[in-house]
Amino acid sequence: MYANYTGCLLALGVTPIIAKINPFIQRHFRSQLEGADVQTVDLLTFHYNKLIAKASPDLVLCYDSYEDLNELRRIAPTVAISLSSLSWRDQFILIAELVNAVGKAKEWLGRFDEKIALAKRLLEQKIDTTESVWGK
């Protein structure tokens, strides 16, 4: 029900039946989403729980701060994920565990770490590494 969880699922090869899909996800996962039967919701969508109940999902992922969490739990098995106690990597691995895709998650994280290392090397070529870089 949140775009970052949609992105996690899609990165793991799982296409949700109801999801928030932002422009980045739409572009990045275009081929996976084409022809998929995904009901999309956005910030203007109200009555999430009614939509979720109608979709009859096997599992619902949401933030632990979701205001109608108890109602969601009556609709379908629900995993409320803490944003405050779990890093994005831990959230990704948790989602991977829930959909039996830990191997894919570790592969994805390995590729991501390689991209980070490459970006750091390229930055070090462009800036004085004794200086700090920050933005507003």
Give residue-wise pLDDT tens across range 64-100: 988 888 998 999 999 999 988 999 999 999 999 999 9
Alpha-helical segments (H) within 1-47: 3-11, 23-28, 30-33
**Is residue 134 domain-resident?**
no
**Is residue 91 domain-resident?**
yes
E strands present in 1-136: 18-20, 39-41, 60-63, 78-81
**Is residue 82 domain-resident?**
yes
**Is residue 133 domain-resident?**
no
**Is residue 101 domain-resident?**
yes
Q: What tokens were used for 110?
A: 């390995």
**Is residue 131 domain-resident?**
no
List, for residues 23-72, the tens digit of each pLDDT value: 899 899 999 988 888 888 765 566 778 888 998 999 999 989 888 889 98
**Is residue 45 domain-resident?**
yes
Q: How many other CB atoms are found less than 10 A from the CB of residue 24? A: 10
Total count of domains within the chain: 1
Under a CB-based contact definition with an 8 Å cutoff, are residues 107 and 87 in contact? Answer: no
Note the pTM of the prediction, 2 decimals: 0.83
Tell me which residue range forms the domain holding 12: 3-126
Domain CATH code at residue 40: 3.40.50.1980
